[in-house]
Amino acid sequence: MGKRILVIDDEVLLVDLLGHFLTKGGYQVDKVSDSQAGLSLLEEKQFDVIFLDIKMPQISGREFYQIVRERIPELSGRIVFVTGDVANRVTQSFIQSTGNICLKKPFTLREIQEVLDHFFGAGGKPQ
What type of residue is 2? G
Superfamily of domain 4-120: Response regulator (3.40.50.2300)
At 85 the pLDDT is: 81
pLDDT digits (tens, 9 = 90+) for 4-49: 999 999 999 999 999 999 999 999 999 999 999 999 999 999 999 9
pLDDT at residue 84 is higher than 90: no
Following DSSP, what letter does each residue of 1-58 receive, concatenated?
---EEEEE-S-HHHHHHHHHHHHHTT-EEEEESSHHHHHHHHHH---SEEEEESS-SS
Task: Write the pLDDT tens digit of every residue in 99-111.
Answer: 999 999 999 999 9
Domain chopping of the chain, boundaries: 4-120
Residue 65 pLDDT more than 60?
yes
Query: pLDDT grade, residue 1 (50/70/90)?
Result: low
